[in-house]
């Protein structure tokens, strides 16, 4: 009548069962999709390659999501996307360098213009001596 499992444990067990069934179905779907794509590729090479690419991409997405769900249920945290972090960092360095270089060039140009303006408007005063 009463179960020795807590509601949390029952929910986790049920989620695990659902996930296992979903992963199995995703694997079967991927296999079936791959078989169908291979047959189509044999009949019409160009069209078959397009369909296989689309089908393979969808199966890969499904498999990736199922694995992510399994990892979450197992309590594992998702991995850090280091490639993305490094790529964004390098992009930031490149943009910062470009901005700094252009700012330095603009300041030098402004200094040259100021110096030319001063040279053009300078008044030379010569002292006169009254004897």
Element (H, E) at 16: helix 7-43
How much is the pTM?
A: 0.39
Per-residue confidence at 92, pLDDT binned at 50, 70, 90?
Answer: very high
Position 1 scores a pLDDT of 43
Long-range contacts, 63-68 (Cβ 8 Å, 24+): 63/23, 63/26, 63/27, 63/30, 66/19, 66/22, 66/23, 66/26, 67/23
Instruction: Report the candidate in 104, 106, 108, 105 with the shortest Cα–Cα distance to residue 116.
Output: 108
Tell me phi and psi for residue 103, to 5 degrees.
Answer: -65, -40
What are the tens digits of pLDDT across the range 100-114?
999 999 999 999 999
What are the tens digits of pLDDT across the range 8-43?
888 888 888 888 888 888 877 777 777 776 665 556
What are the tens digits of pLDDT across the range 30-76?
777 777 766 655 565 655 556 566 766 677 888 888 888 888 888 88
Is 91 or 49 the better-scoring residue by pLDDT?
91
Position 66 scores a pLDDT of 86
DSSP single-letter state for residue 41:
H
Tally the C-alpha atoms within 13 A of residue 78's C-alpha that lie toward its C-beta.
9
CB of 62 closer than 8 Å to CB of 29: yes
């Amino acid at each position: 009548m009463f179960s020795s499992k807590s509601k949390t444990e029952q929910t986790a067990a049920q989620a695990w069962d659902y996930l296992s069934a979903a992963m199995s179905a995703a694997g079967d779907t991927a296999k079936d999709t791959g078989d169908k794509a291979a047959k189509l590729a044999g009949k019409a090479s160009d069209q078959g390659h397009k369909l296989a690419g689309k089908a393979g991409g969808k199966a890969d997405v499904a498999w990736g999501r199922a694995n992510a769900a399994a990892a979450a249920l197992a309590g594992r945290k998702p991995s850090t996307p280091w490639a993305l972090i490094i790529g964004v960092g390098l992009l930031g360095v490149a943009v910062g360098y470009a901005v700094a270089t252009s700012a330095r060039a603009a300041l030098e140009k402004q200094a040259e213009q100021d110096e030319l303006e001063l040279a053009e408007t300078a008044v030379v005063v010569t002292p006169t001596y009254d004897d």
